[in-house]
A and B are shown apart, each in its own frame.
Chain A
């Protein structure tokens, strides 16, 4: 008979074995011999962390309690793998393109790199998954208790608790060792994935082995077993259709949203094509896992005394027959299920916590301080390790506090409904461009709140978190807020009830707020890149790392730095690599060297973006675009100072050609915003390039040279202003930048604006309300003047009266300054549109601006706490600038 020491020794030996497997895998990966580590089979096996201790032990228990319903837990993921592979493929593609590190990162990136969404998803995941981790620790403790209960080997059931503690410590060490060895940008962990793959085989072997024993060893073969099944109470269980469908969909959603599943599905994915194998192999794995569940459950109910915990049938059935070897194997299978789930879930949660909460807080706390790269790296690693300890600590704490009494399956369902709240934002974000940050945040918070109230709190235990009175009558007697009968929908299954209401409100909030709000520029760009990820990247092969050939790189380099120079560089690198020909291998060193060479002539950002696009197929972000155009403008201003034609102008033209090629590439993207930016940038660049070329030619007299250089300067200035506007707008939209609020004379601001927009007071008759001089408001004078300047300049540009006039009038009734001109105004249906970006009313380019002015005005006034509106039907153009109801005082 097996004693405590023997069992613990076996567990420790198994742990050491996993350790050496992980270690060997890491070493192979470090040496670059990771070919078979990246096989689709390893990927498929790593997905098996879906089968936690909950499915390993709990499925049998579930079957013994509720019949075949346990199958829904396997059906959901199988449906996802087989039927939703297109969604998975999109997830994986985006994960690679955007270097996504976690599901929180994905949601945050999609909605304009919103830090708020990152925090919300992280918190949701921590609250939802902590009980799930506790569940794993509990299963280890329980399984040890089963062995202890036989009273042999001199140990007692109480040791289970300390076993949970030591397991937690051991898992934390293992996870820290292999989960935070390096800070790779793509966050892959070969060692841990390999260990999981081994564990996947062990747990499948354990269940199948036990199943074979039960069917052929105990049951007398398949036909006898079928007869037993018919006779058992399981066959007689009534199945509820609603629960079947509900649970299947729930587990399908959770499969996508569980942080650990996202980690192995997307983050650890080495190759998109692995999905093809996994899409049939993983459902097969799940089918094998579930094949013998019912026979084991039936046998347990048959041969074990009534009242035996069915969650532990996997151990108690072989033990009751004296099959210690089989029982130990099953124990190792259960241990594997628990350990692999805990490791990956912890890594995923720790990545989210450190990336979205700890590191941002730390960076903010030392804003302005000098920062070294190594400094941040050490900090991130420490944060990651601390998060791992924190997550496991929380799991252990929950295990101790909850007393480990609840049935395994119910905790799992609580976690499922919790994480599934991310699904609307995730799927909406992938397929709906109109989804906005506000919508995602609203949906998530609503769903989270309902889940917390209707499911999480009640799950802690009857009367523990929510008093029994509140459960019965609702908080403060508000009966439609009863946790398990929201809006008078009592009588539903509690899980379905919570899932239904939380998801319904989540989706409703998400859609409604998305429809009502406008995405910012970064958000819109990210949206386009996520939704259109397949249009942006051509062939399926374009994502393989380092896929660039030397040939196209040479072509590009020749275009930028000239053919002889480029060929010399390539040839010298080929010689350095000891190669015969003129083309070197495209090694990382070579790419870096080439990038440096190119950066010398087109600027670092352009070089980086171009190389990135050619070698990794990385799509271009708006930041890249702005950086590229910025460089162009700088180069232009620099060359503008040169009075004579020179080599610099040649380089400038080359840089402009490249920027133009880039813009052409970008304009292929269908996103209207980008093509607008592209169009707006091209117009000044056209003049700059044309005159730069003219200046290079001979035969210009000095006056012409001066004049053309002047035009180049003007247009470079226009380019810069456009970029400033874009940046200004994105800063405002991101809610960054400080306001300089102080008591300000409104009249003074109006005068400043008039001086800037109308220095000669020409071309526009003016009537300026003297009342303005008597008013003082608390505001940011520079920002307010910016708004006024825009309105005055617009009146001057667009007012179509024969003798244009502008009246600037204080309107005390609405606490606003009205700008009234005598033109024909704006068509009524366009009154709202004009505040959108790039919304010049006619496609006439009379404006000279980019159509960003009023969008900026709107953002500024929103930040100042007021507003700006166009008033229709006033017999002229009327813009009303509403000031916040701050204490306005009159000065004399």
Chain B
């Protein structure tokens, strides 16, 4: 059963919150807070699910998503975008680039949990 989540996010307090919520539910949470090396990190230790912020240092989350989708190894990896850029066009962009799910900040903890369970198991 899938248990590994990679959280790519650069806000320390948001990292702590999401890690806490997911760890409490039994997930192993790895975190990565740099945009430039994020794709390598995914390739090196492929998780079961990626939670991806849009505005990261070095490289945007949309770019990272695009590269992940271009690589056969990560084409079907579940990726949930979690971003404070809540505009319709950001959502459209994320979905067009192949995000599995798009969620805006601030989020409801229960919703994040539900989504993670559904995506990683589905």
Contacts and interface: CB of A to CB of B under 8 A. Distances in A.
Contact of A679 (B10, B21, B85, B109): B85
Q: Which 6 A-B pairs have the closest CB atoms?
A: A844-B57, A690-B17, A682-B84, A687-B13, A686-B105, A689-B106
B78 interface: no
A366 B35 CA distance: 57
Contacts of B20: 694
A668 B109 CA distance: 24
14 contacts: A679-B84, A682-B104, A683-B14, A685-B106, A686-B17, A690-B18, A691-B13, A693-B110, A711-B17, A842-B58, A843-B60, A844-B55, A844-B56, A845-B55
B106 A690 contact: yes
Given A685-B106, A844-B58, 5 more contacts: A656-B106, A667-B86, A678-B86, A687-B17, A694-B17
A683 B17 contact: no
Interface in A578-592: none
A156 interface: no
A714 interface: yes
A679 B87 CA distance: 10
Interface residues of B, number: 27
B40 interface: no
Judged by DSSP, the binding face of A is: helix
Contacts of B55: 679, 843-845
A291 to B, nearest CB: 54
Contact of B56 (A675, A678, A686, A845): A845
A803 interface: no
Contacts of B87: 667-668, 675
A114 B58 CA distance: 41
Interface in A60-112: none
Contacts of B14: 683, 686-687, 690
Nearest to B89: A670
Nearest to B57: A844
Contacts of A711: 13, 16-17
Nearest to A691: B17
Nearest to A842: B57
A714 B87 CA distance: 27
A58 to B, nearest CB: 56
Contact of A686 (B58, B60, B107, B110): B107
Contacts of B21: 690, 694
Interface in B61-107: 84-88, 104-107
B39 to A, nearest CB: 16
B15 to A, nearest CB: 10
Nearest to B35: A844
B88 A668 contact: yes
B55 to A, nearest CB: 5
A597 interface: no
A715 interface: yes
A337 B7 CA distance: 75
B94 to A, nearest CB: 15
A192 B109 CA distance: 60
B11 interface: yes
Nearest to B84: A682
Contacts of B86: 663-664, 667, 678, 682
Nearest to A844: B57
Contact of B108 (A667, A693, A714, A846): A693
A682 B56 CA distance: 15
Contacts of B110: 693
B10, B56, B106: most-surrounded residue (chain A CB, <10 A): B106
Contacts of A686: 11, 14, 17, 84, 105-107
A842 B20 CA distance: 29
A40 to B, nearest CB: 37
B13 A682 contact: no
A842 B34 CA distance: 13
Interface in B1-30: 10-11, 13-14, 16-18, 20-21
A675 B89 CA distance: 12
B85 to A, nearest CB: 6
A168 interface: no
B13 A660 contact: no
Contacts of A846: 10, 57
A128 to B, nearest CB: 45
Contact of A664 (B11, B18, B60, B104): B104
A842 B57 CA distance: 7
B16 A682 contact: no
A196 interface: no
Interface in A661-705: 663-664, 667-668, 675, 678-679, 682-683, 685-691, 693-694
A143 B107 CA distance: 76
Contacts of B106: 656, 660, 682, 685-686, 688-690
Interface in A827-872: 842-846
B56, B85, B109: most-surrounded residue (chain A CB, <10 A): B109
A446 B11 CA distance: 51
A660 B106 CA distance: 7
Contacts of A664: 86, 104
A688 B104 CA distance: 15
A678 B84 CA distance: 8
Contact of A845 (B11, B17, B88, B105): B11
A682 B11 CA distance: 12
A778 to B, nearest CB: 42
Nearest to A660: B106
A697 to B, nearest CB: 8
B88 A694 contact: no
Contacts of B17: 686-687, 690-691, 694, 711
A179 B37 CA distance: 70
Nearest to B108: A693
A687 B84 contact: no
Given A667-B86, A686-B105, A694-B21, A715 B10 contact: no
Contacts of A689: 106-108
Interface in A245-283: none
Contacts of B11: 683, 686-687, 845
A694 B109 contact: yes
B13, B17, B57: most-surrounded residue (chain A CB, <10 A): B13
A711 B19 CA distance: 14
A675 B54 CA distance: 15
Interface in A291-338: none
Contacts of A694: 17, 20-21, 109
A690 B109 contact: yes
A682 B87 CA distance: 12
Contacts of A685: 105-106
Interface in A185-226: none
A685 B105 CA distance: 8
A682 B35 contact: no
Contacts of A675: 85, 87
Contacts of A714: 13
Interface string B104-121: 111111100000000000
A693 B106 CA distance: 11
A800 to B, nearest CB: 12
Nearest to A664: B86
A690 B109 CA distance: 6
A682 B105 contact: yes
Nearest to B16: A711
